[in-house]
Structure 1
Amino acid sequence: LKAAEEVFIRDGYDGSRMQDIADVAGINKALLHYYFRSKDKLFEKVFDAKIQGFFPQVDEVFNQDILFIDKIYFFIEGYIELLRKNPYLPLFVLNTVNSKDKSEFIKKLPIQLSRKVAESYQTDLKKGRVRMLNPAQFIISLMGMCIFPFLAKPILLDMFQADNVTFDALMQDRIQELKTYIKLILQP
């Protein structure tokens, strides 16, 4: 799994090959196929490990009695960092959920977190801490602002005549930028 993650990070999901993963792991390709069947199945295992490291923490934060905006700030910081370290995740998720056999994979996604976001928003709305807005639209906007740059990375690199180091710095700066946008969106 560590070898697969290394290859996915280095070559991206589409550029990764089972042979390359086997080579990095020091095993033969047949053994890799025996245990994981396909690149998709192997990636799902890597994906599961990544989301299990992040989303339970977010879930715990949304159970705390703190300001809604602070919960969203925590999410932004953690999610952008997760994507900076694993830039191949968004495209894999989109390709997988748009495939024929998506039902089992969708069950792995932290969909229930959106309910907690909406409930936490409603709590702060009642206390006058946030302005009235559609929680579903807010969640869509938040996800889009976090994920889009990673999906559009090749376009953005060309647009800004940037390299990977510059892009990574831009994404690191994006955390504060998104916090500013969120504050403006939520201010009562």
Structure 2
Amino acid sequence: MKELEISTEEKILEAAEKIFLQDGYSGSRMQDIADLAGINKALLHYYFRSKDKLFEYIFDKKASIMFPSMEELFDKNMDFIEILDLFIEKYIDLLIKNPFLPLFVITTVNKPNSQDFIKKLPIGLQKKLVEAFMKDVSEGKIKPLNPLHFIISVISMCAFPFMAKPVIMQIANASEEDFKTIMQSRVTEIQGYVQVLLKP
């Protein structure tokens, strides 16, 4: 019985993740999730009493991986540009594996009364990036740009193509595999921009 319950819950969470990532909160229906999970709606409500509760669970899960784990990099004696190169590489790789993630998170945090969702985002990494940026500026290793605008620009260069994925695929006449290849090559493209912007 326990194995059946675990299996059913896993099916629900897998289906909910697909529906929420594709359709967002407002466009998703519990019936669609139940149909995709292969269960009836009553059983879905038995496990998760409301769409809000199910959505919150999926958001928590996805928000926790919105940015790659890079805490270990800040414990090493690395220059900001080296840290940022690895961040860009890991972030693009993460988004290739979760292409709906940026749009899902942005749509959610722009909903009315979204403060509880915003608090769940792992923003500590961005703060550490700004601190590393300021340290290298003070040592004359990089140009004294506005750190907030610079970090916003780098994250935007990484995430925006995934939010505009259908448009980019149309412009480039690209398949899913083509888009993945384009995003993989984007790593060195963004790293090159970073070098040009930051080198004194």
Tell whether the structures are fold-level matches, with TM greater than 0.5.
yes
Task: State whether residues 62 and 101 of structure 2, in contact with CA within 8 Å, keep that contact through their aligned partners in structure 1.
Answer: no
Alignment partner for residue 58 of structure 1, among 56, 70, 94?
A: 70
The superposition leaves residues 77-128 of structure 1 with CA deviations (integer Å, 9 ceiling, x where unpaired) of 1211121111111112121111112010000112232221111011112222
Q: Secondary structure at the match of 2:142?
A: coil
* Structure 1: gaps (5+ residues): none
Task: Specify the alignment match of 1:101 in structure 2.
Answer: 113
Structure 1 residues 7, 159: closer, same or farther in 2, change over 3 A?
A: same
After TM superposition, the score normalised by the length of structure 2 is 0.79
Q: Distance in 1 between matches of 2:158 and 2:20?
A: 20
Moved more, 59-68 or 142-151: 59-68
Structure 2 match to 1:144: 156
For residue 70 of structure 2, give the secondary structure of its aligned residue in structure 1: helix
Superposition map of 1:1-188 within 5 A: 1-6=13-18, 12-14=22-24, 17-34=29-46, 35=48, 37-38=50-51, 41-53=53-65, 55=67, 57-188=69-200
Higher helix share: 1
Structure 1 residue 63, shift from structure 2 partner: 4.1
8 A contact 2:68–2:94 mirrored in 1: no
Q: Compared with structure 1, are the counterparts of its residues 75 and 18 closer, same or farther at alpha carbon in structure 2 (3 Å cutoff)?
A: farther
Q: 2:31, 2:41 within 8 Å by CA — same for their partners in 1?
A: yes
Q: Provide the TM-score with structure 1 as the length reference.
A: 0.84
Larger CA deviation: 44-53 vs 138-147: 44-53
Q: CA deviation at 1:16?
A: 5.8
Distance (Å, rounded) in 1 between the aligned partners of 2:70 and 2:122: 10
**d(CA) in 1 for partners of 2:100, 2:121:** 16
Task: Quickly say closer, same or farther: Cα 1:140–1:55, change in 2 above 3 A.
Answer: closer
Is the partner of 1:108 in helix, strand or coil? coil
C-alpha distance in 2 between matches for 1:100 and 1:51: 18
Instruction: After TM superposition, give the deviation of residue 36 of structure 1 in Å.
Output: 5.7
Q: Retained in 2: the 8 A contact 1:13–1:88? A: no
Query: Aligned partners of 2:89 and 2:30: how far apart in 1?
Result: 32
CA apart distance, 1:48: 2.7
**AA paired with 2:90?**
G
Q: Offset of 1:144 from its aligned partner?
A: 0.9
Separation in 2, partners of 1:157, 1:85 = 17
Name the SS of the counterpart of 1:100 in structure 2.
Answer: coil
CA deviation string 1:42-81 (max 9, x = no partner): 3443343344346472233234331111211221112111
1:140 to partner: Cα distance: 1.1
Identity %: 50
Q: Write the letter of the residue equivalent to 1:138.
A: F
Where do 4+ consecutive residues of structure 1 move more than 2 Å? 1-9, 13-34, 40-56, 58-65, 111-114
Measured in 2, the distance between the counterparts of 1:56 and 1:152 equals 21
Q: Distance in 2 between matches of 1:79 and 1:153?
A: 16
